[in-house]
A and B are shown apart, each in its own frame.
Chain A
Amino acid sequence: MKKPSLFRVERRPVVPGHVVVLVSILAIFAALVAAGIFFEAYGISAIRAYQLIAKGALGSKLGLAETVRRAIPLLLCGVGLTIAFRALFWNIGAEGQLLLGAVAAAGVALFSGLPDVLLLPAMFIAGFLAGALWGLIPAVLKARLGINDVITTLMMNYIAIYLVEWLIHGPWRGPSMRGFAYTDKFPSAAILPTISWTRIHWPTLLLGLVVAVLAYVLIARTRAGFEIRVVGENPEAARFAGISAFKTTLLVMIISGGLAGLAGVGEVAGIHRMLLGPTRISMGYGYTAIIVAWLARRNPLAVIVTSLLFGIIMSGGDVIRVSLGLPFQVINLFNGLILFFLIGSELLMHYRISFSFRRQ
């Protein structure tokens, strides 16, 4: 670092909004070029692959509908994560919180015996509470005992996975499923309506959009939001100002876990209509939402856009699987590449690079 070099790297004090958007788009474009090299190596024309993706994910009704459908859980989880990340709580556990929401919804749908009109609202409330509870455990552990949040939230995901496995193989296995590991189908009053023939369960989508706006208002306009930001940006100052880090941590994780729980309710009540294997309930939405929230620069409103972007990637991945017969793991390749290019772009964003020998 002390060595003289051809170029100097200076830190930008504040990164203007347009730079963030521009550089992010450039990074994604660069990642697509890199993925294109893999396509070519695989003997597939990269241009044709991208045409297919664009047509499949945006240019066809079916693809567009799927893009939006995939964006719903990403939106709910993503908005919650922006709030947790604001308070510098690294919630890697949205996946598990989502699963707990699904479990609670299934429990209410199948066993509560509530009247039809109350069923769906009760499922959403139970889902929120279950997700929040799953999120509160690591929150308390961090706030009271200083235990690393990344690790506890990650471990809680696996416990949630095996909880679901145990339920569907054991006590909740549906008598009508001929011995297969699913619960019974939900009663029709516990199933969310969809838009026409699509699989867009619009009540959850609406909920997601409302929540995104509310979360934005919370962060930008309220006392609690101010406290969250102070705790995240300057814990020392927060302590002097008498802000309770404990309460703030609990609050952000109730919101973050609860919203992921709502996403879980939407998936089982809107798509699957039963509780089934954990990897089928979620397909990693909780992990992808981390990227969604991170790419949105922790802005809840921007999550609307970034969740759609990853909706496009997911449904675009489906297209090339069908049309080009590529292995399904190609989606992970895409996600991984895009992420690393975005990480790389951080450098471009936060640092101004000047090629000279001048000393300032």
Chain B
Amino acid sequence: MKTRFVLIAIVLLALVFGLSTLTVAKEYIPGSSLKVGFIYVGPIGDLGWTYAHDEARRICEDVFPWLETVYVESVPEGEEGLFIDKLILEEDCDVVFTTSFGFMDGTLDAAQRHPDKIFAHCSGFKRNANMMTYMADFYQIYYLNGLMAGALTKSHKVAYVGAFPIPEVKRHMDAFAIGVQEVDPEAELHVRWIYEWFSPTAAKEATEALIADGCDVFAFTEDSPTVVQVAAESGLPSFGHYSPMYNFGPEHVVSGQIAHWEAIYLDFLAKVYAGVYTARNLAEVNYWWLLKEGAVEIGAKPGMLINPVHEDELRAVTVNDPILGTINVWDLVMKRLEQMSDASMVVDPFQGPVYDRKLNLRVPQGLRMSEFELTTMEWAVEGIVGPWPGEP
């Protein structure tokens, strides 16, 4: 009996030891039908990050008749290598997108393991001949949302519920705070962290805590509409995050950020199909797409830039801009949106001089931040109140 167990184990092990190489699949021929795999970090039903990527995947499938897609959801970080291998070896994918920062090293390893396949990693900074990076960032939209929040706050306390204290979220908070203070220099941005990407209960209690502290306008980074729902229950305005959240508070969702990952996916896949991008020339390819590329949109829902319910309030508040003169906030948002959507990008939220809340000069007069500086920023701007782990 016992020897049999050992035998079975030995046979199985021998089998595995015997496996030495993986069959290397063929390289993609431009113009042929293309199969693309997506590796998601969360469930596609999260109504946040993964949901937005999956919407984009479906749009791509509708647009390109030559495209076939497959996805795997809720892949834990550390397991991406396995699923990439499965997508390539068992599903015959030509291109694989991995959509979490934590997938960076696993994707790079896989890219080296499968040099003939094309990889794209979202939100990271490591590239390879066959691995590009891409990101659609919201910081400009957070700034625009901040302008409106500055106009809507009566208590001069605006709230932000953050997921994790990482550069991406900190950047968004900073941009939001800059917008708030441009309209209401007295206002503070109160911050709470929930240390989860997805946690409705934590988001709810964090929002309630901020309401109790006197905050009356809400922005957040968390993959559920909880903050919007809770704020609406208390009759307070909020800004949706990642997906259209208008339906969760039609009277109270002022505007928000909507991701259009398809802008990047369509562009990249079309270029792969045309043979512009191959498994040999991606080392310098990095999509850092913002408003002007159409990768992100401002709005309570697609097409509704600002909820008309709040129009009068926004028009009633005016700002003195050194260039635009006296202008009401509604017009200011439209003007800034137009400026940032334009290819020349005459304005940027992080336009120097910018000081952090410890009064160090972070962006000198006349300068802007580079993509590297934006993706590694850890400091908090003036006006942010609350804990800030990792503050330099």
Chain A residues with a Cβ under 8 A of chain B = 17, 56, 60-62, 64-66, 68, 165, 169-170, 173, 178-182, 185, 195-200, 205, 209, 213, 216, 271-273, 276-277, 279-281, 283, 301-302, 304-305, 308, 318-319, 321-323, 325, 327-328
Given known pairs A178-B167, A318-B86, A322-B91, the reply for A65 and B16 (CB within 8 Å) is yes
**Contact among B43, B90, B125 with A62 in the assembled complex (CB-CB below 8 Å):** B90
Q: Please give the distance in Å from A292's CB to the nearest CB on chain B.
A: 13
**Is B378 an interface residue when CB atoms closer than 8 A count as contact?**
yes
* Contacting pair A301 B6 (CB below 8 A): yes
**Is B89 an interface residue when CB atoms closer than 8 A count as contact?**
yes
- CB contacts (< 8 Å) of A305 on chain B: these are 5, 8-9
* Contacting pair B86 A319 (CB below 8 A): yes
* Contacting pair B5 A304 (CB below 8 A): yes
Q: Please give the distance in Å from A348's CB to the nearest CB on chain B.
A: 21
Selected A-B contacts with CB under 8 Å, 28 pairs = A17-B1, A60-B90, A61-B22, A62-B89, A65-B19, A178-B101, A178-B376, A179-B378, A180-B164, A181-B164, A181-B166, A195-B17, A196-B20, A197-B22, A198-B16, A199-B82, A200-B16, A276-B77, A276-B102, A280-B76, A280-B78, A304-B5, A305-B9, A318-B83, A318-B86, A319-B86, A321-B72, A321-B73
* Contacting pair A68 B13 (CB below 8 A): yes
Bound-complex Cα distance A17 to B5 (A): 13
- CB contacts (< 8 Å) of B6 on chain A: these are 213, 301, 304
Q: Please give the distance in Å from B294's CB to the nearest CB on chain A.
A: 27
- CB contacts (< 8 Å) of A308 on chain B: these are 9, 12
**Is B212 an interface residue when CB atoms closer than 8 A count as contact?**
no
Bound-complex Cα distance A198 to B21 (A): 9
**Contact among B77, B87, B102 with A322 in the assembled complex (CB-CB below 8 Å):** B87
* Contacting pair B13 A62 (CB below 8 A): no
Question: Nearest B residue to A216 by beta-carbon distance?
Answer: B2
The 7 closest A-B pairs by CB, nearest first: A328-B74, A61-B19, A179-B166, A304-B9, A179-B167, A272-B78, A301-B5
- CB contacts (< 8 Å) of B22 on chain A: these are 61-62, 197
**Is B64 an interface residue when CB atoms closer than 8 A count as contact?**
no
Q: For B16, B76, B102, B113, which residue has the most chain A Cβ atoms within 10 angstroms?
A: B16
**Is B165 an interface residue when CB atoms closer than 8 A count as contact?**
yes
* Contacting pair A182 B43 (CB below 8 A): no
Given known pairs A182-B102, A302-B5, A304-B9, the reply for A283 and B86 (CB within 8 Å) is no
* Contacting pair A62 B85 (CB below 8 A): yes
How large, as a class, is the contact surface on chain B? 35 or more
- CB contacts (< 8 Å) of B77 on chain A: these are 276-277, 280
- CB contacts (< 8 Å) of B164 on chain A: these are 169, 180-181
* Contacting pair B19 A198 (CB below 8 A): yes
Q: For A56, A279, A322, which residue has the most chain B Cβ atoms within 10 angstroms?
A: A322
Bound-complex Cα distance A62 to B114 (A): 14
Q: Please give the distance in Å from B140's CB to the nearest CB on chain A.
A: 21
Q: Please give the distance in Å from B85's CB to the nearest CB on chain A.
A: 5
Given known pairs A276-B102, A308-B9, A318-B82, the reply for A56 and B19 (CB within 8 Å) is no
Against A, the Cβ 8 Å flags (1 = close, 0 = not) of B82-124 are 1101110111000000000110010000000100000000000
Question: Nearest A residue to B8 by beta-carbon distance?
Answer: A305
- Judged by DSSP, the binding face of A is helix
Question: Nearest A residue to B82 by beta-carbon distance?
Answer: A66
* Contacting pair A180 B166 (CB below 8 A): yes
Given known pairs A64-B15, A68-B16, A180-B102, the reply for A169 and B71 (CB within 8 Å) is no
Q: Please give the distance in Å from A76's CB to the nearest CB on chain B.
A: 14
**Is B325 an interface residue when CB atoms closer than 8 A count as contact?**
no
**Is B390 an interface residue when CB atoms closer than 8 A count as contact?**
yes
**Is B339 an interface residue when CB atoms closer than 8 A count as contact?**
no
Within 8 A of A (CB), among B239-266: none
* Contacting pair A173 B89 (CB below 8 A): no
Q: Please give the distance in Å from A309's CB to the nearest CB on chain B.
A: 11
**Is B389 an interface residue when CB atoms closer than 8 A count as contact?**
yes
- CB contacts (< 8 Å) of A65 on chain B: these are 16, 19
Bound-complex Cα distance A277 to B73 (A): 18
- CB contacts (< 8 Å) of B91 on chain A: these are 322-323
Question: Nearest B residue to A68 by beta-carbon distance?
Answer: B16
Bound-complex Cα distance A17 to B390 (A): 59
Bound-complex Cα distance A327 to B50 (A): 13
- CB contacts (< 8 Å) of B376 on chain A: these are 178-179
- CB contacts (< 8 Å) of B87 on chain A: these are 322
- CB contacts (< 8 Å) of B2 on chain A: these are 216, 301
**Contact among B43, B86, B170 with A327 in the assembled complex (CB-CB below 8 Å):** B43
**Contact among B17, B73, B375 with A328 in the assembled complex (CB-CB below 8 Å):** B73
- CB contacts (< 8 Å) of B389 on chain A: these are 169-170
* Contacting pair B5 A64 (CB below 8 A): no
**Is B70 an interface residue when CB atoms closer than 8 A count as contact?**
yes
- CB contacts (< 8 Å) of B66 on chain A: these are none
- CB contacts (< 8 Å) of A181 on chain B: these are 164, 166
- CB contacts (< 8 Å) of A198 on chain B: these are 16, 19
- CB contacts (< 8 Å) of B5 on chain A: these are 301-302, 304-305
- CB contacts (< 8 Å) of A321 on chain B: these are 72-73
